[in-house]
Structure 1
Amino acid sequence: MHPDDAEALLHALFTQPPIGLHVLDPDLRIVRFNAAAPGVQGFSESEVVGRTFRDLGFVVDDVDRMLRRVLATGESVSNFQYEGRLPRGPAGLRVLAVSAFRLQSTDGRTLGVAATVVDITEQYRAQRRLELLYRAGEQIGTTLDVFRTAQELADVAVPGLADVVEVDVLDSVMHGDAPSPGPLLNQVTLRRAGFQAAAPEAVRSSYEVGDVRVMRYGYGTPYAQSLTDLRPRLIRALDKDGGWPTRDPDQARMLREAGAHSFMAVPLAARGVVLGIAAFFRTKRAPPFEEADVSVAADLVARAAVCIDNARRYTREHTLARLTQRSLVPTRLPMHTAVETAYTYLPVASGGAWYDVIPLSGARVALVAGDVCGQGMRAVTTMGRLRTAVTAFAAMDLPPDELLERLHSLTEELSRDYPPAQDDHWSVLTATCLYIVYDPSDGSCVLSRAGHPPPVLALPDGTVRIVETPTGPVLGRGASSYTSTSVDVPEGSILALQNTGLLQGTTESRLPVYRKALGRTTGTLQDTCDALAASLLPEPPDDDALLLLARTRAHGPDKLASWTLRNAPESAAEARRLVGARLAEWGLTDLDFSTGLIASELVTNAVRYSDGPIGLRLIRDAVLTCEVADISNASPHLRHAEDDDEGGRGLYLVAQFTQDWGTRRTGRGKIIWTEQTLH
């Protein structure tokens, strides 16, 4: 290279490049520098040449060690980052990228070090802001809890963006209510939902997280302006702002004592609804907030606001679901002579757990426990529909397995009516159900279950066991295939129906708890139920928990009478005679005529339409039940005979003298039953 060219290049390097260039001797004294070199801007050549960085006022221990290592080893260093304050030039902390390499003569002597310095403060801050937003995406909104989300916002912003962060949410939001769209003016009720400080021992909030206070923001303050037009406000220097806006003097005093000097007020708003406000402060030696910081704070708060609004909507739906849930399950179980019942019901998650005790014909009773998969309003309303369907199917006197088959078909239909929402965790609508029919006349218990935990049976002798019964598929999924199991239950036994929310495991694993609680029962049945539930749930459950206990009773000769009649025409008169004699023993002679008529008509129909023996039974319970059984599958139906018809009035007469009547299938035929009110 021509000497003139080399001189021109050297001159250009020290006068034109936008990066700083330093030439240092072996003692790290500055030999030459250019005007763009950060840290020496504002110094004259005579003030710099021959002096070290430390002489100029730098605190550069890390840089000094790096340069000496380059001198000693000859290994170049690229983009060594230094963060500190410059003696002259831009105020505040600056970030410099330093690159250095050793200078050597042609004979190998070390001449010094050449170092380039670039001020990357803005790029560094932009990168930090991007990292902050990335962390916010991971850490804000992890739960549907307003307090947790507000605190996550404060934790993410400190110390990456601010030294102190306060998050206040409208108190109505905590209850799931939606404030009116638009700005908030005058008086508002706020609840402190989140607070964080880089130095908690130096900065304390005048309000603890959870405190409620009524605030009246003065007109023209950043708080009022921010809540009015839903835009953030920046006060770069609090001490220079004559109208320092504070929510109360105590908080302003604390912030001044802590050295707060810069402030941002950012509204919490989502979907056009104001939810609260977040305040950001910088204290002590931190640089004032800039417009770029306002943009980052707005992004953080917007993310948190959406999560808080989701939490608010969840809270509202959860509250409505719990209110609906309470109205869809019985608050008091009906009294029944067949069983004594008690229950513990903990609807903690607005789920689809339900229970029922349904009176059936023939003094029988149905015990039901069910659970709809999922939580929220959809699970609760679906539970209400299934519970209503079970009650309707039970009134049809369907056997347990057939009832579950129909309930399975209904659940599939409901699943088609309610396709999964985008924000719903349901893939397919499913439910479980356990249906038990207990007959106090013979102590039989017939049950069937669809994916539900089996019942536990405690016998009077202290034996406690699981009622082993095959389980069919959960309702709404798979092919409908259910079987019924019949077991004999002695009088005084206790049947325990529960759901998975109560068990927190399998029934087998919790059987020792049942044995301890049910093996030696003392006190009332409700006391036993409460004690068993407490034993099964040592800690509050995460899902709805249900426990239903039923202590069985039996009908003796004072409430039950049964006969077997021949399939012959004279059996109608025999039925009238037998019924009259038994009613006289029971002191129910006022029902002699009507019950005799009912029995004779039903027996006559059995003789006419069936073969084989005919069963006749009277049950004195809350009502007087008369049952006639035959082996025919033909279902009787009520007819309105014309005046010139010779027959067809039998069931019509029966219906006139009864409170209710119906037919139920048996394994050998059918039973026609009637009920009359006892005066």
Structure 2
Amino acid sequence: MSAPSTPDDGELFAGVATAVLDRRGIVTQWSRAAAELLGRPAGTVLGRSVLRLFADRPTWARYAAASAPVPAYGTAALRTARGDVITVRYGDKALESSAQRLILAVPAERASRAEQGEALVRALLGQKRFGIVLRDTDLVVVRTNITEETFAGLTLPVGSRLSDFMAEEDGRSAEASLRHVLETGDPLVGDEQRITPRNGEHGDWSFSVTAVRTTGRDGRPTGVAVLLTDATEHWRAERRRELRHRAAADIGVTLDVLRTAQEVTDVLVPAFGDLAWVDLSEAVLAGDEPPRTLGGGDPHLRRTAVRRADGDWPAGLLQPGESVPPFPDRPLVRALQSGRTVVLDREELERRMAGTPHLPVLTPEDGRSVIFAPLFARDLLLGVAGVWRTRATHTFDEEDADLMTEIAAHASLSVDNARRYRREHRSVVSLQRRLLPQFMTRTSAMETAGSYRPAEEGSEIGGDWFDAIALSSLRTALVVGDVTGHGLHAAATMGRLRTAVQTLADMDLGPDEMLTHLDDLVARLASEAEPEHRDSVGATCLIAVHDPVSSTCTIASAGHLPPLMSPPDSVTVPLAVRPGPPLGVGGQPFETTTVDVPPGSVLALYTDGVFQGSGLDVDDDVGRLAGRLHALQREGDHDLTSVGRALIGGEEDHGPRRDDTAVLLARTASLGPEAVAEWEFSAAPEVVARARDAATGQLAAWGLGELSFSHSLIVSELVTNAVRHAGGPVRVRLIRDRLLITEVSDPSNTQPRLRRAHSTDEGGRGLFLVAQLSLRWGSRYGATGKTIWVEQELSAD
């Protein structure tokens, strides 16, 4: 039993005119299509000669007269009932077991279109440079020219579906695209589709896909025609170009060795392979040059960075931070040591490295192909980068090796630059730390703790510094400063400024005077610099002098941030200081501000590096810092070192520090009234004895009678000089601490000088005698007059 006809079958034979002729050419059968074609019903044609239908009757009559056979296929002109002429293509076929012939005819135009369509299909299916696939409404292949020769082994048999040969995810994506074309009729033009075959034998493919919907004569969809152009080489070339560009843009962004190594693996995975790692020499990690080696031995390499496309780094492989086992003396090792990139499949690697400890920690379970590239710079092996491809991707080839060599060359230069920067950074940090003072000091009047955090890898060292300088009469100068710019010149400028501050502090100048002298020094340094660098020579600085007797602090600022004060039982606040211009600007005076500092208060001096990453304005930054200091104080953390580290550490991690940071914390104390005695005398000769007696009585009250003799001589000489050369009033103050401090103040600004008197001189031995009887002595100037101070050691008791 024959199968029932389908609408497509009817479309195939629709419009074909048929007729049956006997041996004399008389029409015995006449189809409805023939009647419609010529407008001649069967009754007007049956029983009559077919020659009546030809427009060129004489030509066909000659065939009949000569009894010659009519051509089996050809073209004929027929006349309709209205007299019109229609050209048809016909076929003449003799019927078996009968003398009759079957004639089939269609309009010549339709036949021509059919022949052209068939010729086009044959031409397309005969191509080898692109693929043609005809699919039905179920997207099953019904006709194709794709064979093993078309796309180097990729086959697409008739009756197959997309899911039969494509990876699941690729198959779903491609089927969705074709079904959209089938359902909407919208063509798909030049769409790029990535294909990973299920068996993975032929690697990944990239095709340019054009698809159109096919329809029958009734306009209903019959399937999809797909044109495939192999764009794999173009895709791979474009991918290699993008990888080169990304490597150039993303590797070496920072001057940090560890980050640079991680950038290499991030570029390689997943764009180039499925697993990648970088092993670097331990010397490189320390900033030094690696040793020159050739052959086997301990390479002193350490796994520095890893990356896997899917999931965590395999536990069986060498882990980050672990040392690479010693190398055997193999050709593979020597090739890497000489700077050559090596490409191997799994079997070849296992053969070359058989019996070595590297194989189990080097080969992932699904590893298929590996590429090793040495990181080579200035004939030194800095390390090795490796990439694995797994079963899901094709193996590495020579073009991949060339690309990996380029990436490794760029990575080598970046790693070497980072190594050299680390070495220089380490040297400058060492210089910076040597230029800074001791980080902790403790006296009966003040405890200080400094904290310093250099700029991190990738940033240049700055010129931030702090200092705590002991002054006369138990006073302390607190200094913090920030030199403009970065690098070695900033550190050197910082050292010169710190030295100048210490020298000025020894002269017992006030904070405003010290800043004035520093301003002149910075201006001179700028004039000595190269013309293009003069504008970058400058600094900000703040100096605060604390007096434990009066419990006050006198502050002057050269463009620096205000200090913070955290009293024992109150909130932490910034001190209102009138800042002058930064050092080096010149032309404007510096003003001082004196504030009361309760005993037990914490003073905080800092540089702007402590605000890194906040993104707020200065007032908000200072307020937030005050809040942090207050919270740390109230949490019971009274260790100044810990508090300072917490302040420079910041509340959040805002990435690498681009500026160095200095913080100086000072916890103040004061001397009680019982530790201080003070008198004022007129400028008369008799006051010398009175001053001497008053001082002797006070020493006895303090239990320091053993110092009475030497101290009487000191007071006598200092008061005598004041009365004789300066006039009154003369003030005498004694301070008892770990030392006995004697101060004599007068209204004169004349600098006392120590000199050695000759044997014939009648005077000039006073200050010499004072110097011999004291631990140290000096003078300082006030708003009016001067003060000469003397320190004496107390007994061990």
Q: TM-score, normalised by structure 2?
A: 0.66
Shift of 1:37: 8.4
Match of 2:374, SS state, is strand
1:596 corresponds to = 716
2:681 and 2:687 in contact (8 A); partners too: no
Match of 2:446 among 313, 319, 340: 340
What is the CA–CA distance in structure 2 between the aligned matches of 1:32 and 1:507, rounded to whole Å? 76
Letter in 2 for 1:664: R
Match of 1:579 among 692, 704, 712: 692
What is the CA–CA distance in structure 1 between the aligned matches of 2:677 and 2:142, rounded to whole Å? 116
What is the CA–CA distance in structure 2 between the aligned matches of 1:13 and 1:179, rounded to whole Å? 65
2:368 and 2:390 in contact (8 A); partners too: yes
1:448 corresponds to = 556
Distance 1:378-1:61 versus aligned 2 partners, 3 A rule: same
Match of 2:679, SS state, is strand
What is the CA–CA distance in structure 1 between the aligned matches of 2:567 and 2:554, rounded to whole Å? 16
Please list, as runs of the form range in 1=range in 2, the aligned pairs for 1:274-423 lying within 5 A after superposition. Answer: 274-331=381-438, 333-337=440-444, 339-343=445-449, 345=451, 347=453, 349=455, 353-372=464-483, 380-411=491-522
- 1:124 paired to 2:235: yes
Shift of 1:128: 0.8
Letter in 2 for 1:281: W
Post-superposition CA distance 1:504-544 (Å, at most 9, x none): 864444556656666898xxxx9353675588678588664
Distance 1:613-1:162 versus aligned 2 partners, 3 A rule: same
Letter in 2 for 1:220: R
Distance 1:336-1:644 versus aligned 2 partners, 3 A rule: same
Shift of 1:127: 0.4
1:176 and 1:312 in contact (8 A); partners too: yes
What is the CA–CA distance in structure 1 between the aligned matches of 2:437 and 2:762, rounded to whole Å? 49
Match of 1:468 among 568, 576, 598: 576
Match of 2:370, SS state, is strand
Shift of 1:469: 2.2
Deviates more, 1:283-292 or 1:349-358: 349-358
Letter in 2 for 1:155: D
- 1:667 paired to 2:779: no
2:668 corresponds to = 551
2:268 corresponds to = 157
Shift of 1:152: 3.2
Q: Which runs of 5+ in 2 are unaligned?
A: 1-111, 457-461, 615-619, 700-704
What is the CA–CA distance in structure 2 between the aligned matches of 1:183 and 1:95, rounded to whole Å? 43
- 1:219 paired to 2:339: no
1:232 corresponds to = 341
What is the CA–CA distance in structure 2 between the aligned matches of 1:64 and 1:606, rounded to whole Å? 107
Shift of 1:124: 0.9
Shift of 1:164: 2.1
1:102 and 1:110 in contact (8 A); partners too: yes
1:663 and 1:671 in contact (8 A); partners too: yes
Match of 1:216, SS state, is coil
Match of 2:287, SS state, is coil
Match of 1:263, SS state, is strand
Letter in 1 for 2:297: N
Match of 1:485 among 566, 569, 593: 593
Distance 1:431-1:246 versus aligned 2 partners, 3 A rule: farther
- 1:196 paired to 2:196: no
Letter in 2 for 1:665: Y
Please list, as runs of the form range in 1=range in 2, the aligned pairs for 1:428-443 lying within 5 A after superposition. Answer: 428=536, 431-443=539-551
Deviates more, 1:160-169 or 1:394-403: 160-169
Distance 1:114-1:628 versus aligned 2 partners, 3 A rule: same
Percent identity over paired residues: 32
Match of 2:300, SS state, is strand
Match of 2:668, SS state, is strand
What is the CA–CA distance in structure 1 between the aligned matches of 2:267 and 2:451, rounded to whole Å? 40
Shift of 1:126: 0.9
Match of 2:726 among 582, 592, 606: 606
Q: Which runs of 5+ in 1 are unaligned?
A: none
- 1:255 paired to 2:363: yes
What is the CA–CA distance in structure 2 between the aligned matches of 1:163 and 1:306, rounded to whole Å? 24
Distance 1:507-1:157 versus aligned 2 partners, 3 A rule: closer
2:269 and 2:309 in contact (8 A); partners too: yes
Post-superposition CA distance 1:378-405 (Å, at most 9, x none): 6555444333222111111111112123
Match of 1:563, SS state, is strand
Shift of 1:372: 4.9
**Rg comparison, structure with higher value:** 2
1:18 and 1:36 in contact (8 A); partners too: no
Post-superposition CA distance 1:348-379 (Å, at most 9, x none): 65765544332223443323344556777665
1:362 and 1:673 in contact (8 A); partners too: yes
Distance 1:281-1:631 versus aligned 2 partners, 3 A rule: same
Match of 1:331, SS state, is coil
1:353 and 1:499 in contact (8 A); partners too: no
1:464 and 1:518 in contact (8 A); partners too: no
1:63 and 1:82 in contact (8 A); partners too: yes
What is the CA–CA distance in structure 2 between the aligned matches of 1:583 and 1:520, rounded to whole Å? 48
Post-superposition CA distance 1:450-492 (Å, at most 9, x none): 3133230526x767654322233444568654210123445x3
Match of 2:265, SS state, is helix
2:640 corresponds to = 529
What is the CA–CA distance in structure 1 between the aligned matches of 2:197 and 2:674, rounded to whole Å? 105
1:562 corresponds to = 679
2:463 and 2:494 in contact (8 A); partners too: yes
What is the CA–CA distance in structure 1 between the aligned matches of 2:634 and 2:203, rounded to whole Å? 76
1:141 and 1:149 in contact (8 A); partners too: yes
2:150 corresponds to = 38
2:757 and 2:765 in contact (8 A); partners too: yes
What is the CA–CA distance in structure 2 between the aligned matches of 1:79 and 1:103, rounded to whole Å? 18
